[in-house]
Amino acid sequence: MSKPAMRVAVTGAAGQIGYALLFRIASGEMLGKDQPVILQLLEIPDEKAQKALKGVIMELEDCAFPLLQEVTAHSDPMTAFKDADVALLVGARPRGPGMERKDLLAVNAQIFTAQGKALNAVASRNVKVLVVGNPANTNAYIAMKSAPDLPARNFTAMLRLDHNRALSQMAAKAGSAVGDIEKLIVWGNHSPTMYPDYRYASIAGKPATSVLSDDDWNRNTFIPTVGKRGAAIIDARGLSSAASAANAAIDHVHDWVLGSNGKWVTMGVPSDGSYGIPEGIIYGMPVITKNGEYAIVKDLDIDAFSRERMDATLNELLEERDGVKHLL
Q: Is 134 annotated as a binding residue?
A: yes
Determine if 226 is a binding residue for ligand NAD (CB under 6 A).
no
Determine if 201 is a binding residue for ligand NAD (CB under 6 A).
no
Nearest CA-CA partner of 124 in 36, 38, 213: 38
Distance CA 155, CA 176 (A): 34
Rg for the chain, CA atoms, rounded: 19
CB–CB of 275/180 below 8 Å?
A: no
From residue 91 to residue 130, what is the string marking binding to ligand NAD with x (rule CB under 6 A)?
xxxx----------------x-------------------
Nearest CA-CA partner of 128 in 150, 160, 161: 150
190 is catalytic: yes
Residue 12 touches which of ligand NAD, ligand LMR, none (Cβ within 5-8 Å per kind): ligand NAD
Determine if 132 is a binding residue for ligand NAD (CB under 6 A).
yes
- DSSP letter, residue 43: -
Q: Which of 190, 252, 254, 326 is catalytic?
A: 190
CB atoms within 10 A of CB 295: 13
Least distance CB 55 / ligand NAD (angstroms): 12
- Phi-psi region at 83: left, alpha or beta (left = phi > 0; alpha = psi -120 to 50): left
Residue 52, SS3 per DSSP: helix
Q: Is 115 annotated as a binding residue?
A: yes
Closer residue to ligand NAD (CB): 14 or 184? 14
- DSSP E strand stretches across the chain: 6-11, 37-42, 68-74, 86-89, 128-131, 155-157, 181-182, 185-187, 195-197, 202-203, 206-207, 265-270, 282-290, 293-296
Side chain identity at residue 202, one-letter code: S
Which residues, numbered 13-52, are part of the site for ligand NAD (CB under 6 A)?
Answer: 14-18, 42-44, 49
Q: Is 144 exposed, middle or buried (0-12, 13-18, 19+ CB in 10 A)?
A: buried
Residue 43 touches which of ligand LMR, ligand NAD, none (Cβ within 5-8 Å per kind): ligand NAD
Nearest CA-CA partner of 70 in 39, 111, 32: 39
Enumerate binding residues for ligand LMR (CB under 6 A).
Answer: 134, 161, 230, 233, 240-241, 245
Closer residue to ligand NAD (CB): 6 or 161? 161
Q: Which of 39, 60, 143, 158 binds ligand NAD (CB under 6 A)?
A: 158
From residue 161 to residue 200, what is the string marking binding to ligand NAD with x (rule CB under 6 A)?
x----------------------------x----------
Determine if 74 is a binding residue for ligand NAD (CB under 6 A).
no
Q: Is 95 annotated as a binding residue?
A: yes
Annotated binding site: 12-18, 95, 101, 108, 115, 132-134, 165
Binding residues for NAD(+): 12-18, 108, 115, 132-134
Active site amino acids? 190
Binding site for ligand NAD (CB under 6 A): 11-12, 14-18, 42-44, 49, 90-94, 111, 132-134, 136, 158, 161, 190, 240-242, 245
Residue positions forming the annotated binding site for substrate = 95, 101, 134, 165
